[in-house]
Structure 1
Amino acid sequence: MPVLSTGDKIGFALVGALIAGFLWRQASVTALVRDDGLTVRNLLFTRRLEWAEIVSVRFGSGRPWVQLDLSDGDTLAVMGIQRADGEFADAEARRLATLVAMHTTTTRDD
């Protein structure tokens, strides 16, 4: 039976740690709603948005997750609401769109 060298053991430990870190980050993907805005934690980045920065919420046309259109012209995926979650994802997308509409409505809503 071959014996693993110290380098092999370290390599296995590093690969295991990388896989565990990736799985932890994937499991922690979320969209956290607060009174003053939304925090979107995706696989690589976390972004904090005020309600006024969010122009619209889209979740159609075969998109794998909710997409936010932002006031600066950028878009942001919300990986915490994924098409694979079926009806739950549809309900969460509607809830998020309702929250955006509630927090961005003005007296003159053009």
Structure 2
Amino acid sequence: MGLLAVGGTLFVGFTAHAPLATLAANRWSFVGFAVCVALLLWRLGGVHAKPSSRGLLVRNLVATRRLAWPEVLAVHMTVDDPWVVLDLADGGTLAVMAIQRADGERGMREARRLAHLVRTLGEAPDPA
């Protein structure tokens, strides 16, 4: 909610000051900048990782990806990582921007919780 309030305030502030600009191009640049900032803050506010019994939904700034638990092999957050990184079964990695090192102990706790879910729910079933 905080990002939406900041985005709304910035949007109103920039668009309210646009008529004070002397050139029409400057007026539109105020409005354009306000729209860009509002869109960026809207996307930042939508970043999340939502676990369920079937898998993990990861929404980052640009893309959203659904993963089944067996697709996630490991959860990492090293000292140099700004957020959690998942090792995937296809050999790739996926950043989880919703769990950040900047959140301090809360971020570390969420990383441990996600690692526990991967260990508990991520085991591929044994072929019978």
TM-score (ref. length: structure 1): 0.87
C-alpha contact 2:82 2:101 (8 A) present in aligned 1? yes
Structure 2 equivalent of residue 39 of structure 1: 57
TM-score (ref. length: structure 2): 0.76
- Aligned amino acid, residue 55 of structure 2: G
Structure 1 equivalent of residue 108 of structure 2: 90
- Aligned amino acid, residue 37 of structure 2: I
- By percentage of residues, which structure has more helix? 2
- Aligned amino acid, residue 56 of structure 1: A
String of CA shifts for 1:56-97, please: whole Å, max 9, x gaps.
Answer: 001123211100000000000001000000000110000000
Any gaps of 5 or more consecutive residues in structure 1? none
Matched-pair identity in % = 45
Structure 2: how far apart are the matches of 1:57 and 1:6? Answer: 51
Number of aligned residue pairs: give it.
107
- Secondary structure of the corresponding residue to residue 13 of structure 1: helix
Q: 1:106 to 1:18 in 2, by over 3 A?
A: closer
CA shift, 1:35, in A, is 1.4
Structure 1: how far apart are the matches of 2:67 and 2:99? Answer: 16
Any gaps of 5 or more consecutive residues in structure 2? 1-19
Displaced runs of 4 or more, over 6 A: none
